[in-house]
C-alpha cells in the first residue's frame, strides 16, 4: 500500500504508547504506523487487540539497545517521524535496578537519535518527538508550578535517565539539526496501565482484599491526567508543535495520595456493593520511597495558548471509567500479574 507517511512509535505496547498507537492508526489511515516494542513485563500486545488487523499498522519486536536491529529497521522503512515512548517507567524499579534505566532510557534514545541523524538527509517534515516526564524538574514545595524554562533537577534514577535523554534529544537538535520536539507530562491514569503504578495497584489490591500500601504519610501530591488526553496532546504536538520546543502537559488536577486512595476506596465499595468504609480498612502506611518527591504540578499555559490543548475528561469521571475498565477486564489483569510482577511485588512489599 502507498502511505503518505511512515511513523515509528516506540513503546507502543505499553500503557501510554498503546493509546497513542490506537489513536493514530484510527485517525490517520493514510499513515503507516510501525510499533516497535521489546515487550518487557510492561509491554503487552493485548493492549492493541482492537487494531492489530488494520492495514496501516505493523508491529516489530525489538530492543532499542540493539543497534544492528535498529539499523536494519531504518533500512527497511523510510521513517518520516519517530514518536519515542519506549522506556523503563517505574520509579521504584529504578531505585532497585538503575542500570536498566540508563541502558533503555539513555543509550536506547541515543541509538534512535543516531539512526535519524544518519538517515534524514532531507530534514523537511521530519520529526523526532521524545515523550518525557515532569519528574525531570525535581520536586515542588507547597507552592509553584513546573514551567518549560525551569532548570532540570532530577532526583531518582528514573528521572535522571529521562533528563539525560531529554538533554541528548536537545543536543542532537542543536548539533546535528535533527528536528526534535519534547513534551514533559504529569501522571497519567486510565486503561491498560500496569498495576504497579498507584491507581491500578490500589484497584487490583482492593479487588483481591490485599493491603493498600501508602508510602510515608500519603501527603505527596501528583497532578493526574487522563491517558487519552495525553494521547491527544501528543497528536497535537507531533503535528502542530514547533520544532526545537518543549511543551509541558498536565491535568490541572492535584491530589494528595491519601485523598486519592480514599476516593478510590469509596468508588470501589460502591461498585462492589461493600459496606461503606470497607476498603479504607485495607490502607497500610509503609516505609517511604527513597528520595520521594513531594509534589509535582504543571503550568500547562504554553500548550494551551499555542496549541489550544485542554484536558477533556474530569477526574472523577475518568476515575470511575478506569475502575470500571479494571473490573471488566479480569483476563487482562490476571494475564499481566501472572508473570514476574508477582515476584517483584512480593519482594518489594513483604
Ligand atoms: P510503560 O512502562 O507502560 O511502557 C513502556 C513500553 O516500553 C513497554 O511496552 C515496554 O515493553 C517498552 N520498552 C521498555 N524497554 C524497551 C526497550 N529497551 N526497547 C523497546 N521497547 C522497550 O510506560 P508508560 O507509562 O506507558 O510510559 C511511556 C513513556 O511516557 C515513557 O517514556 C515515560 O517515561 C513517559 N511518561 C509516562 C508517564 C506516566 O504517568 N506513565 C508520564 C509522563 C511521561
Ligand atoms: O509524573 C510523571 C511520572 O508519573 C511518570 O514519568 C512515571 O513514569 C510514572 O510512573 C509516574 O511516577 P510516580 O512515581 O509519580 O507514579 P507512581 O504511580 O509510582 O506513584 C504515584 C504516587 O503514589 C507517588 O507519590 C508514590 C505513591 N505510591 C506509589 C505506589 C506504587 C504509594 O504511596 N504507594 C504505592 O504502592
Buried b (16+ CB within 10 A) or exposed e, 168-179: bbbebbeeeebb
Instruction: Say if ligand 1 is within 6 A of residue 162 CB.
Output: yes
Compute, in angstroms, the gap from residue 75 CA to the centroid of ligand 1.
25
Q: What is the pLDDT of residues 284-327, one digit of tens each?
A: 999 999 999 999 999 999 999 999 999 999 999 999 999 999 99
Task: Write the DSSP symbol of residue 144.
Answer: -
pLDDT for 339 equals: 73
State yes or no: pLDDT of 176 exceeds 50. yes
Least Cα distance to 167 among 94, 246, 95 occurs for 246
How far is the C-alpha of 120 from the C-alpha of 345, rounded, in Å?
43
What is the total residue count of the chain?
350
Compute, in angstroms, the gap from residue 319 CA to the centroid of ligand 2.
16
Compute, in angstroms, the gap from residue 169 CA to the centroid of ligand 2.
25
Task: Write the DSSP symbol of residue 45.
Answer: G
Q: Which of 106-110, 121-125, 191-195, 304-308 has the lowest mean pLDDT?
A: 121-125
Q: Torsions phi, psi of 46, nearest 5?
A: -65, -20
Q: Which atom of ligand 1 is nearest to the CA of 16?
A: 26
pLDDT for 310 equals: 97
Domains of the chain: 5-189+223-249 (3.40.50.720), 198-221+254-290+314-349 (3.90.25.10)
Q: What is the pLDDT of residues 214-239, one digit of tens each?
A: 999 999 999 999 999 999 999 999 99
Contact 16, 227 (CB under 8 A): yes
Least Cα distance to 183 among 144, 240, 141, 140 occurs for 240
Give the angle subtended at the CA of 182 by the CAs of 38 and 221, to the nearest 5°.
90
Contact 204, 337 (CB under 8 A): yes
Q: Is 53 a catalytic residue?
A: no
Pocket mutation for ligand 2, best pick of 134, 157, 160, 197 (most atoms within 8 Å of C-beta)? 197
Instruction: Say if ligand 2 is within 6 A of residue 187 CB.
Output: yes
pLDDT for 124 equals: 80
Q: Which atom of ligand 1 is nearest to the CA of 65?
A: 18
Rounded to two decimals, what is the model's pTM? 0.98
pLDDT for 350 equals: 46
Q: Is 189 a catalytic residue?
A: no
Contact 153, 212 (CB under 8 A): no
Residue 85 confidence class, pLDDT cut points 50, 70, 90: very high
Q: Which ligand is nearest to the CA of 88?
A: 1
Structure-block grid coordinates of residue 91:
520509579
Instruction: Say if ligand 1 is within 6 A of residue 190 CB.
Output: no
Give me the chain's average pLDDT, please: 96
Q: Which atom of ligand 2 is nearest to the CA of 162?
A: 6
Q: Which ligand is nearest to the CA of 249?
A: 1
Q: Which ligand is nearest to the CA of 11?
A: 1
Amino acid at each position: 500500500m502507498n502511505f503518505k507517511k511512515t511513523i515509528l512509535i516506540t513503546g507502543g505496547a505499553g500503557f501510554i504508547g498503546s493509546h497513542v498507537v490506537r489513536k493514530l492508526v484510527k485517525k490517520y489511515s493514510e499513515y503507516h504506523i510501525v510499533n516497535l516494542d521489546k515487550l518487557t513485563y510492561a509491554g503487552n500486545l493485548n493492549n492493541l487487540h482492537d487494531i492489530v488487523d488494520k492495514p496501516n499498522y505493523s508491529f516489530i519486536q525489538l530492543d532499542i539497545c540493539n543497534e544492528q536491529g535498529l539499523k536494519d529497521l531504518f533500512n527497511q522503512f523510510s521513517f518520516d517521524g519517530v514518536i519515542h515512548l519506549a522506556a523503563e517507567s517505574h520509579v521504584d524499579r529504578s531505585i532497585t535496578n538503575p542500570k536498566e534505566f540508563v541502558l533503555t532510557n539513555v543509550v536506547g534514545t541515543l541509538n534512535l537519535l543516531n539512526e535519524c541523524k544518519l538517515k534524514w538527509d532531507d530534514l523537511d517534515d521530519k520529526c523526532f518527538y521524545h515523550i518525557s516526564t515532569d519528574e525531570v524538574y525535581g520536586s515542588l514545595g507547597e507552592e509553584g508550578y513546573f514551567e518549560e524554562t525551569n532548570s532540570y533537577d532530577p532526583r531518582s534514577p528514573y528521572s535522571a535517565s529521562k533528563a539525560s535523554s531529554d538533554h541528548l534529544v536537545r543536543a542532537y537538535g542543536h548539533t546535528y539539526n535533527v528536528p526534535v520536539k519534547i513534551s514533559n507530562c504529569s501522571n497519567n491514569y486510565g486503561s491498560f496501565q500496569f498495576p504497579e503504578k498507584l491507581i491500578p495497584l490500589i484497584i487490583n489490591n482492593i479487588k483481591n482484599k490485599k493491603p493498600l500500601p501508602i508510602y510515608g504519610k500519603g501527603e505527596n501530591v501528583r497532578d493526574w491526567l487522563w491517558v487519552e488526553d495525553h494521547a491527544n496532546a501528543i497528536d497535537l504536538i507531533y503535528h502542530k508543535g514547533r520544532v526545537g520546543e518543549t511543551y509541558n502537559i498536565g491535568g490541572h488536577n492535584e491530589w494528595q495520595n491519601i485523598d486519592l486512595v480514599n476516593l478510590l476506596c469509596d468508588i470501589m465499595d460502591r461498585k462492589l456493593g461493600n459496606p461503606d468504609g470497607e476498603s479504607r480498612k485495607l490502607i497500610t502506611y509503609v516505609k517511604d520511597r527513597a528520595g520521594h518527591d513531594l509534589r509535582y504540578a504543571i503550568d500547562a499555559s504554553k500548550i494551551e495558548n499555542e496549541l489550544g490543548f485542554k484536558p477533556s475528561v474530569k477526574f472523577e469521571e475518568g476515575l470511575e471509567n478506569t475502575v470500571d475498565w479494571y473490573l471488566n477486564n479480569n483476563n487482562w489483569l490476571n494475564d499481566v500479574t501472572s508473570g514476574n510482577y508477582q515476584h517483584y511485588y512480593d519482594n518489594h512489599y513483604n
